[in-house]
Structure 1
């Protein structure tokens, strides 16, 4: 078998080529490795952008996915994108220290994306001074009844059906909800209560749900409806003053709560 011999000139060329590959890989890697931040929606978040010199005499330009978010022109705000109006700002007193970080208030899931901070000097972008941030905003469970989304949001309605010496009958109803919600009764300590449940499915995947329970302890009781598919959760609370005294069940925390289950759906249907 014959072995190929590489000349010194060829070795030099291969060495230069490998160095270029390594250098190019590092350069592209730095560019494609933004600072990653992950937050829940509705909170405030600060996207970092720090320079080694003061930027009070420069134009600070923040973009999201190449679209304008905020333009800070010579120490004053000159432009805000409509979807970020009154929600984004810099820290003016920090610009002299090279801090051009941007704060986003009341974050939304739609705020997720790739942000770039860059400053302009004499009208020219200074690419070497750019900073990239990848922001991810996650959904939380909250009341979304005012939002326009596909589906029908659950809206619990709580009423007191009857009050006797044995306890108070509470009812929670959720009408025409889609997708099917999870509905739970809780006492003031956050414990779920046994219930009598009736469910009437409507056409086109809408649901009517009725949840009854009897409580024997004076306090606040809350009905919570949750639709995880819509990231929607809503509750309604009522205060109950129970007449008389009934021997209750003893929970592990030493709090006595008596719950009697009755079938009283006919009273509210």
Structure 2
């Protein structure tokens, strides 16, 4: 069979003919479709987003007019690309300087549009149009604002704890759930949702629990496939604990009445009250809205009380009283009103005096010693002890209470031999004691001392 022979004089090479034939076949093949994403595109406010759209099979559209519109807006044009460049004359002003095509990709049929710094108002249905090709396709944009929920203790009673979870500034409207440590849904109070003038939602929900455990508050926004969680651990219900032992202080000193929450809870936002119900007014110290309130304070405590403000976050509500007076003694009550907690503590104030010992009688065979302690409070006990610390049999104590409410106590001891003795004054209520030691010489030395004293007296005469 004879084959036709192509001569160079034909003007076309074999390769050139092949390319030409391929182009002809392509031009009569299946027409291109303009395809945008069938799934809504989700973006968070403030982010950049791409609305994907392309021709399939790909066709170079660099010479085409590409329009992006939203028919619910006026003007409806979001982006116009004509004669190889963007045209801004008819663009909706809310999209000014925020839209762009991928110019280098137009030759591949990619007509996707990028929107920068997305706003909530950008949410809607966008239409891409290739007018001369009579093609168009739409795509949905959903814009959201996500907020991490904040959990706070609303109430912390002895038997139950009330937690509140709140998420502010959300869009679209979110759902809020409480979960246990295993991720199971918990029965909680109804959600409370408020829509602000900025179209953002605030949602809150309370949960009441009666046991120590971990809990999770989850805010979920299905439309934008977003969720945020906050975990919280609820300890055993806190108890307000003040010292069970009376606190002793000496008049003129400073004293601290220790009181704290256990487990610790931050009480900086709580009102802390210290009172004495036997006084009028009964308020010793009031701490409210982060500062002391003096208006209702008992005047005898003016400028003498304080809390340890830096320790309130650790649940420490101890009170310091400066320059304690005897009249400060009494039963104090610490109250955390909003938490329905209170506890009491007893303050005992004392005045301590060191005893004075003197020789009342100094005979040849026996010596009478007297020990006296003046200006004591509360009423003290007085003892005589030997050198080994053993109690000695002494005369009965004599106690006198003066007009200043201070006590004077004295007691005599008769001894017959040379030895060391101790007079001890003890005040159990304030856990204080004072001692004075004395040495009684033997009879010979006592006689010699008396003779010396007699000689001295005669010389003076």
TM-score, normalised relative to structure 2: 0.29
The structure, 1 or 2, with the larger RCO (C-alpha pairs under 8 Å, 6+ apart) is 1
Question: How does the TM-score come out when normalised to structure 1?
Answer: 0.44
